[in-house]
């Protein structure tokens, strides 16, 4: 599936390597070395995915990702963070900011392309005009909006994707590994407890609307969404 891919990376050698590797697979790569250049490119071209370095001149890649998640035009854009930071708390910070995946330097171009393919495939599953309704909850996928009894519920990007998947597959139990594969993408090297953190955040957001009980913990098995 050829795609328009934005790279935001200040090291020219890495930009060129990524561009060469991805263009071999038919993708169109739009290179930028700063956040301002990236914003200019995004204003002139619809992107299918972005690869963002953490440390950038003139602005943090992490803050750039956060700003995209707040932008209605780009809040569903698949994003991979590409960085030399390898500590678990750094990976968690990148994912919490709204990145869909995290690739650490040095990296294999083949692995990067596999991650891109998985994200592009999965992004198709989260597109569309469908509205999913279960009980008091109504999830509008196109508008990226959740309401409970008509009142809007604020969710983070990852929590929204996690709830979308569970609401599309009600009453079925998914293990943490399965949720990582379906929501974060296969081959994502993230601790399974990351799922627990996002489930906890989801419940916290739903509790004021008395909807947190719709997320069940099945001891020894995983989680499920139930509307009963």
Q: What is the pLDDT of residue 128?
A: 54
Q: Write b or e for each residue in 40-62: b if 16 or more Cβ atoms lie within 10 A of its Cβ, otherwise e.
A: ebbeeeebbbbbbbbebeeeebb
Beta strand 222-225 with 215-218 is antiparallel
pLDDT-derived band at 142, boundaries 50, 70, 90:
confident
- Let me know the angle formed at the C-alpha of 139 by 182 and 167, rounded to the nearest 5 degrees: 40
Which tokens in the block code for residue 67?
A: 């700003």
pLDDT-derived band at 205, boundaries 50, 70, 90:
very high
Dihedral over Cα of 18, 35, 67, 139: its sign: negative
**142-165: average pLDDT:** 86
| CA-atom Rg of the chain in angstroms | 18
Which CA distances in Å does 211 have to 153, 158, 194? 11, 18, 22
pLDDT-derived band at 214, boundaries 50, 70, 90:
very high
| Range in 40-44, 103-107, 171-175 the model is least confident about | 103-107
pLDDT tens digits along 100-131: 888 888 888 888 888 888 888 776 655 555 78
Which tokens in the block code for residue 119?
A: 């994200």
Q: What is the pLDDT of residue 93?
A: 80
Kindly report the average pLDDT of the chain as a whole number: 86
| Residue 216, pLDDT above cutoff 80 | yes
Which CA distances in Å does 173 have to 192, 203, 216? 16, 17, 9
Q: Are 25 and 57 in contact (CB under 8 A)?
A: no
Name the burial class of residue 110, with classes exposed (0-12), middle (13-18) and buried (19+) by CB atoms within 10 angstroms of its CB.
exposed
pTM: 0.68
Name the burial class of residue 90, with classes exposed (0-12), middle (13-18) and buried (19+) by CB atoms within 10 angstroms of its CB.
middle
């Amino acid at each position: 599936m050829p795609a328009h891919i934005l790279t935001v990376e200040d090291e020219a050698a890495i930009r060129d390597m990524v561009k060469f590797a991805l263009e071999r697979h038919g993708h169109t790569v739009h290179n930028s070395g700063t956040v301002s250049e990236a914003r200019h490119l995004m204003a002139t071209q619809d992107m299918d995915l972005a690869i963002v370095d953490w440390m950038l001149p003139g602005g943090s890649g992490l803050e750039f990702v956060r700003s995209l998640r707040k932008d209605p035009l780009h809040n569903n854009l698949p994003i991979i963070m590409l960085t030399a930071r390898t500590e678990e708390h750094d990976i968690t910070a990148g994912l919490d900011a709204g990145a869909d995946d995290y690739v650490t330097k040095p990296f294999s171009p083949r692995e990067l392309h596999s991650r891109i393919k998985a994200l592009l495939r999965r992004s198709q599953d989260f597109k569309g005009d469908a509205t999913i309704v279960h009980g008091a909850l109504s999830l509008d996928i196109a508008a990226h909006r959740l309401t409970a009894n008509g009142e809007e519920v604020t969710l983070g990007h990852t929590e929204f994707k996690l709830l979308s998947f569970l609401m599309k597959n009600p009453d079925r139990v998914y293990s943490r590994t399965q949720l990582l594969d379906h929501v974060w993408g296969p081959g994502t090297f993230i601790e399974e407890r990351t799922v627990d953190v996002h489930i906890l955040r989801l419940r916290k957001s739903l509790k004021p609307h008395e909807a947190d009980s719709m997320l069940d913990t099945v001891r020894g098995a995983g989680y499920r969404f139930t509307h009963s």
